[in-house]
Amino acid sequence: MRDTSTVQKSIARALVWFRRDLRADDQAALYHALKAARQVFCGFVFDTTILDPLPRADRRVEFLVDSVADLDDQLRALGRSHGIEGCGLIVRHGPAASELPRLAQSLGVQAVFTNHDDEPDALLRDSRVRGALSDAGIALYTSKDHVVFERDELMTAGGSPYSVFTPYKNAWLRKLTPFFVHAYPVARHAGALAPLPADEALPTLAQLGFERSNLHQLKLPTGSRGAAELLDDFLDRIDAYGEARDFPAVKGPSYLSTHLRFGTVSIRHLAREAWQRMQGGSRGAEVWLSELVWRDFYHQILHHHPHVVGRAFKPAYDAIRWEHGKHADALFEAWCQGRTGYPLVDAAMHQINQTGYMHNRLRMVVASFLVKDLGLDWRRGEAYFATHLNDFDLAANNGGWQWAASTGCDAQPYFRIFNPVSQSLKFDAEGRFIRRYLPQLSALPDKLIHAPWLARPVDLVAAGIELGRDYPTPIVDHDDARQRTLARYAVVKQA
């Protein structure tokens, strides 16, 4: 049965433009379009502006292709639930700034509905799309969907954006009511979904010009079905999250970050689950909710301070002189390849290189090591993560790197420098994580695996290890590096 309220709708035809919101359930733009229009088409563009620079085997593209297919299935099922056959997703491949307006015109729609994306490149793209649509007499309507609170929704008493997390979090929690995490009832209005035009088919990975990665060997589930599977698993252990999340060899995190990045799960759903469990007394849920608030925080920082893309949040820190030249390049290459001689750092880099994932505690450790042990520009590490992380999100990645480099808002003070050996002893005491990614060190006793260069020759021989052959000696002395870092950051104190 079609929605009986369609006769009252002001728009005859509309198009929903999916981007980083690849789900049919609790999807703001889809809901608003279904409420406003008598016929609603759904579209997605594999944007070559984004895809062309990527390596041909990219786990994120494969995740995206699978999740688009999953969304197509969801839309078809929604249509069938209202007696409409042949619904689904219209997919295009090309520059979104031109492909989307062209699709909208070919469908004869009066409006396009989409959700906000506050990344600078996305805003520029959307501005071009809005202009092209306007020239064709088509309206563009946008909604909040990717965060709980965005843009100007949370401001200080003086009307300025927050730049310190704890006051922001307190304001976030004060403002939160069931309204802000209530799900949009998309299914109730899905009778407005329109059947696909003739000859529409989803492109394959190969047709997009990409090759298979090791995504499926890693068993990272894709699409909304995959997100639901991971969430169900996490909710069974969420109470322990506060303690377990810091230990990389333990199954502590939710592993939902890639799904949040591509919107295959609703942030409202996750925040609602965490908030309800926190109110029920779960300390783990409280800590997890705080991590979701950090995500909102970094997105509002990006919105209000777009200069953080490429520059320090605190301008004085742009005066820091980072190591450069061939020696700096060699240090960076060793960091990238996991050949620094510090096992926890190297194991973490092997993890990201092999899987596209890195445990959050280790992201802080390797970032601190790059910036404060090697003296390299944080932007080099930020760009490396942007290329390799399955869950790459500009706001969170930039915020995390600037936090580690002490250049960002509410950042770690510059004189606090992670000791990679101390971090290893504290969070991987038995060396389980190190052994997983550095099997050549497996035979070392637990107490020696964190700093092999301190082992006696007899212990190295017993473990079958020759430093410099089987595993590198440290490329930098941490204590010496600490002193150089304090001197390097002195320029900030003098500013």
Q: Which two tokens stand for residue 488?
A: 């390097």
Distance of alpha carbon 161 from alpha carbon 316, whole angstroms: 20
Active site residue 397: no
Candidates 200, 353, 360, 419; catalytic one:
360
3-class secondary-structure state, position 92: strand
Distance of alpha carbon 25 from alpha carbon 186, whole angstroms: 6
Active site residue 398: no
Candidates 17, 275, 288, 294; catalytic one:
294
Distance of alpha carbon 334 from alpha carbon 351, whole angstroms: 15
Those residues whose C-beta lies under 8 Å from the C-beta of residue 432, and which sit 6 or more positions away, are: 249
Phi, psi of 316 (to 5 degrees): -60, -30
Candidates 378, 382, 390, 397; catalytic one:
378
HSE, CB side, 13 Å, CA atoms: give it for residue 336.
Answer: 16
Candidates 17, 275, 288, 401; catalytic one:
401
Q: Note the Cα 135 to chain centre separation in Å.
A: 34
Q: Work out the end-to-end distance of the chain between its first and last CA atoms, rounded to an integer number of angstroms.
A: 68
Placement of tokens 């895809």 in the chain: 51
Phi, psi of 136 (to 5 degrees): -95, 5
- DSSP category for residue 357: -
Name the residue among 287, 219, 230 with its Cα closest to residue 256: 230
HSE, CB side, 13 Å, CA atoms: give it for residue 353.
Answer: 15
Name the residue among 374, 361, 368, 360 with its Cα closest to residue 411: 368
* Sheet with 11-18: strands ordered across: 90-94, 37-47, 11-18, 111-115, 139-143
Candidates 150, 153, 286, 322; catalytic one:
322
Placement of tokens 């000791």 in the chain: 419
Residue-wise DSSP of 154-220 = S--TTS----SHHHHHHHHHHH--GGGGPPP-TGGGGGGBPPPPTT--PPPTTTTT----STTTTT-
Active site residue 294: yes
Torsion of CA 106, 112, 118, 122, to 10 degrees: 10
Distance of alpha carbon 147 from alpha carbon 297, whole angstroms: 10
Active site residue 360: yes
Distance of alpha carbon 492 from alpha carbon 371, whole angstroms: 15
Q: How far is CA 181 from CA 146, 269, 281, 345, 440, in A?
A: 12, 7, 19, 38, 48
Name the residue among 57, 74, 46, 87 with its Cα closest to residue 203: 46
Active site residue 378: yes
Distance of alpha carbon 27 from alpha carbon 146, whole angstroms: 9
Active site residue 322: yes
Candidates 291, 323, 353, 419; catalytic one:
291
**Catalytic residues, which ones?**
291, 294, 322, 360, 378, 401
